[in-house]
């Protein structure tokens, strides 16, 4: 019996949950960046300026919904940091804690995550490769919701935008976290390279937040994922035109599919062995841009 990972009812909404404005270290004003993304078809957006939580009530929301957000910094030294992005609940205008930059002596990574969780935020580990986070540090963390497998701005800055290997390491160790993609917009050339698409019950702040916490979304830098789920003992995905589709699973290895010369792939089905603890899918288009499903977990896998 076919069962989609996404809700049967609802509408697809596109958004970016990691960006910066002139409030911190971005080049666009809040009004400019909101208008820019709205004009390119985005349905929701979050301005996550460093260590400030601003609701931007002055920015019109007739064309795009604005979610309040923040990116917190913990500073270790010049070459190492932790950055954690939080998206606030609808209607929030401030955090329930002191919102600022912290040193490693003042707050540990876990203490900061706990503060953000207690505040009701959707919490995401940002660009772990660029931050120089180690696997050991990441594996100790608990409670966060999302993990940036793709950060377009960081890839432009220093070729540190991909974090799929770290992501699979966390999943292989039993963590249940969502794959995220973002622009992390600072400069004019950072835009429109990473986003998420949520299947929301309606076009509202609350519905978008519900979809985030439920994992009813996929991450992308290009392709669309039209459907994804289980059909009996097979995982299936349907997507826009792609040249490659990769099934990633653990502990047994998944499988890669490639379009024949001059053709495209618009979906695949992959039969489980019954030993997988999770399966996820990556779809890659002819320009090398990827989209990432969320993992499907299997409780009774026989390793």
Query: What per-residue confidence (pLDDT) applies to 261?
Result: 96
Instruction: Report the alpha-carbon distance of residue 100 to residue 48 in Å, rounded.
Output: 13
Indicate if 151 and 169 belong to the same structural domain: yes
Give me the residues paired with residue 279 across strands: 249, 296
- Based on C-alpha coordinates, what's the Rg of the chain? 19
Flag whether 136 is in a domain: yes
pTM exceeds 0.85: yes
124/84 same-domain check:
yes
Q: Are residues 148 and 253 in the same domain?
A: no
Q: Does any domain span residue 40?
A: yes
Q: What pLDDT sits at residue 303? A: 45
Same domain, 123 and 141: yes
> Cα separation of 237 and 226, whole Å?
8
Please tell me whether residues 269 and 148 are part of one structural domain. no
Residue after which a domain boundary falls, among 159, 194, 220: 220
Longest dimension (CA), the chain: 57
Q: Tell me the C-alpha distance between 1 and 211, whole Å.
A: 24
Phi, psi of 252 (to 5 degrees): -65, 150
Same domain, 200 and 232: no
| Burial of residue 103 (number of CB atoms within 10 Å: 0-12, 13-18, 19+) | exposed
In the listed set 200, 220, 240, which residue is the last one of a domain according to the structure?
220
Residue 170: give its domain's CATH number: 3.20.20.140
Q: Strand pairing of 44-47 and 234-242?
A: unpaired
Q: How far apart are CA 33 and CA 137, in angstroms?
A: 34
What pLDDT score does 301 carry? Answer: 54
Judgement on whether residues 189 and 252 belong to the same structural domain of the protein: no
ω into 72 cis (within 30 of 0) = no
Distance separating alpha carbons of residues 271 and 253, to the nearest angstrom: 12
DSSP, collapsed to helix, strand or coil, labels residue 6 as coil
Expressed as residue numbers, the domain containing 142 is 8-220
State which of 220, 249, 270 marks the end of a domain. 220
pLDDT at residue 300, as a whole number = 64
Asked if residue 160 is part of any domain, the answer here is yes
Q: Are residues 197 and 157 in the same domain?
A: yes
Domain total for the chain?
Answer: 2
CATH number of the domain residue 251 falls in: 2.60.40
| Residues of the chain below pLDDT 70 | 300-303
């Amino acid at each position: 019996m076919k069962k989609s990972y996404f809700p049967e009812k609802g509408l697809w909404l596109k958004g970016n949950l990691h960006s910066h404005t002139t409030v911190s270290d971005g080049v666009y004003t809040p009004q400019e960046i909101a208008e820019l993304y709205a004009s390119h078809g985005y349905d929701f957006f979050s301005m996550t300026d460093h260590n400030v939580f601003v609701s931007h009530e002055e920015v019109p929301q007739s064309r795009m919904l604005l979610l309040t957000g923040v990116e917190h910094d913990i500073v270790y030294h010049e070459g190492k940091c932790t950055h954690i992005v939080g998206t606030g609940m609808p209607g929030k205008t401030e955090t329930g804690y002191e919102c600022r930059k912290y040193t490693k002596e003042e707050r540990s990574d876990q203490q900061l995550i706990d503060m953000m969780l207690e505040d009701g935020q959707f919490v995401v580990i940002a660009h772990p490769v660029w931050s120089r986070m180690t696997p050991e540090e990441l594996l100790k963390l608990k409670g966060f919701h999302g993990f940036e497998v793709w950060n377009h701005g960081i890839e432009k800055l220093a070729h540190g935008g991909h974090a799929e290997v770290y992501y699979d390491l966390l999943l292989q160790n039993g963590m249940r976290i969502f794959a995220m993609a973002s622009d992390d917009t600072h400069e004019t050339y950072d835009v429109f390279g990473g986003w998420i698409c949520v299947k929301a019950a309606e076009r509202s702040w609350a519905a978008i937040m519900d979809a985030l916490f439920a994992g009813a979304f996929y991450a992308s830098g290009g392709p669309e994922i039209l459907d994804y789920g289980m059909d009996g003992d097979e995982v299936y995905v349907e997507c826009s035109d792609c040249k490659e589709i990769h099934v990633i699973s653990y502990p047994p290895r998944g499988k890669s599919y490639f379009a024949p010369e001059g053709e495209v792939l618009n979906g695949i089905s992959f039969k489980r062995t019954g030993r997988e603890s999770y399966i996820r899918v990556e779809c890659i288009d002819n320009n090398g841009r990827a989209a990432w499903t969320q993992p499907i977990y299997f409780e009774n896998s026989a390793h």
